[in-house]
């Protein structure tokens, strides 16, 4: 069984995540293969559009498969993680800038690496089961895979809220936040995909305008405060325990860095700028952040009791986001 089912069907290139028992977690090999087939189909006249979907009901893609990154980092080998993040981010940018329509059908959990695939597609379809999140602060990382680019473009202070809390949001909120485009019942997806294969026309995609989004009516003004501590103080004044609980639980460094990066991304003109900034953090993550401890607590030992020790000061955040010199991400410019 291959981790990605890649084929052509009619006018469509088809990419299907095929690891349902692992919640379709994105491995390094999957990132490489996905990028390679996008390059292959770029000038293929048979492929008018690309459909990305996933096997199983539980998840489109619940994140990156980072067990190997953890094991290597624990042994002092930081190169494995750096290569994985580099190749994943190059693939994310390829999706965002692709010259042909990419339609992502995102059911169930769409988190981290899953947002990095589906969230940058030109047509992002969600269903009733969809739950989207960028929960990296809970594992000692930051919203990456272009997550800061997306969150920086969310209305109001939704970007800061999602980055710091890692909250899971449903289909209407995902559309309101700019992480999805259309809410179409999942039972209609097979017929729609067949129509896309037959016609190669994205004009056939349509869905109802969302009636309401809970986030639209929520007061998130506290997340406009200068720092994480200021945000928490403002939330304590309003008694918003629902927002305070994850902020008390997540990595202080990850929240401080994520806050700075979402705000910096608002000034970016291209997703590549946001990805390069994210890479500066993740390049250093296994050595200078809470990332290994977060993975241990949440994924390896599963004791859910991380012992955060990384310095969350502004100075350390700036060190982690400083340019990498010869290790900076290199972007291939296309004509």
Tell me, yes or no, if 113 is annotated catalytic.
yes
Catalytic residue among 53, 65, 88, 144: 144
Cα distances from 128 to residues 60, 179, 240, 254, 319, in angstroms, run 13, 15, 27, 30, 42
Give the containing element (helix H, strand E) for 291. helix 291-295
| Bridging pattern class, strands 59-61 and 109-111 | parallel
**Strand ranges (DSSP E) for the chain?**
4-9, 12-17, 49-54, 59-61, 102-106, 109-111, 123-126, 131-133, 182-183
Sequence-ordered list of residues with C-beta below 8 angstroms from that of 23, at least 6 positions apart, any chain: 56, 58, 59, 61, 62, 63, 108, 109
Answer yes or no: are the C-beta atoms of 73 and 291 closer than 8 Å: yes
Residue 195 burial (CB < 10 Å; 0-12/13-18/19+)?
A: middle
- Give exposure, 202-234, as e/b (b: 16+ Cβ within 10 Å): beebeeeebeebebeebebebbebeebeebbeb
Place of tokens 């494995």: 80
Catalytic residue among 53, 65, 136, 197: 136
Tell me, yes or no, if 64 is annotated catalytic.
yes
Catalytic residue among 13, 63, 64, 294: 64
Closest by Cα among 308, 250, 256 to 281: 256
Cα–Cα dist 287/187, whole Å: 45
Catalytic residue among 73, 108, 113, 119: 113
Tell me, yes or no, if 79 is annotated catalytic.
no
Q: Name the residues annotated as catalytic.
A: 64, 113, 136, 144
């Amino acid at each position: 069984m291959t981790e990605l089912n890649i084929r052509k069907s009619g006018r469509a290139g088809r990419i299907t995540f095929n690891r349902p028992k692992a919640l379709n977690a994105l491995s390094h090999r999957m990132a490489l293969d996905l990028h390679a087939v996008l390059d292959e189909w770029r000038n293929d006249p048979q492929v008018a559009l690309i459909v990305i979907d996933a096997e199983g009901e539980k998840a489109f893609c619940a994140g990156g498969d980072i067990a190997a990154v953890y094991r290597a980092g624990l042994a002092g080998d930081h190169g494995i993680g750096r290569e994985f993040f580099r190749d994943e981010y190059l693939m994310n940018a390829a999706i965002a800038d692709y010259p042909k329509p990419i339609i992502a059908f995102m059911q169930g959990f769409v988190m981290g690496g899953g947002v990095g695939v589906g969230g940058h597609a030109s047509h992002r379809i969600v269903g009733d089961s969809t739950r989207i999140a960028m929960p990296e602060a809970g594992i000692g990382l930051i919203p990456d895979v272009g997550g800061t680019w997306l969150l920086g473009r969310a209305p109001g202070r939704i970007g800061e809220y999602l980055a710091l809390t890692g909250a899971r949001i449903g289909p209407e909120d995902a559309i309101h936040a700019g992480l999805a485009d259309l809410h179409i019942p999942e039972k209609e997806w097979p017929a729609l995909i067949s129509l896309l294969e037959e016609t190669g026309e994205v004009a056939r995609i349509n869905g109802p305008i969302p009636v309401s989004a809970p986030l639209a009516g929520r007061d998130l003004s506290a997340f406009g405060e200068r720092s994480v501590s200021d945000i928490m103080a403002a939330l304590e004044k309003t008694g918003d325990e629902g927002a305070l609980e994850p902020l008390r639980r997540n990595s202080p460094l990850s929240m401080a860095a994520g806050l700075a990066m979402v705000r910096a991304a608002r000034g970016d003109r291209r997703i590549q700028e946001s990805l390069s900034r994210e890479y500066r953090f993740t390049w250093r993550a296994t050595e200078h952040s809470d990332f290994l401890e977060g993975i241990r607590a949440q994924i390896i030992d599963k004791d859910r009791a991380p012992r955060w020790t990384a310095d969350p000061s502004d100075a350390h955040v700036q060190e982690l986001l400083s340019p990498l010199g010869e290790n900076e991400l290199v972007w291939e410019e296309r004509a």
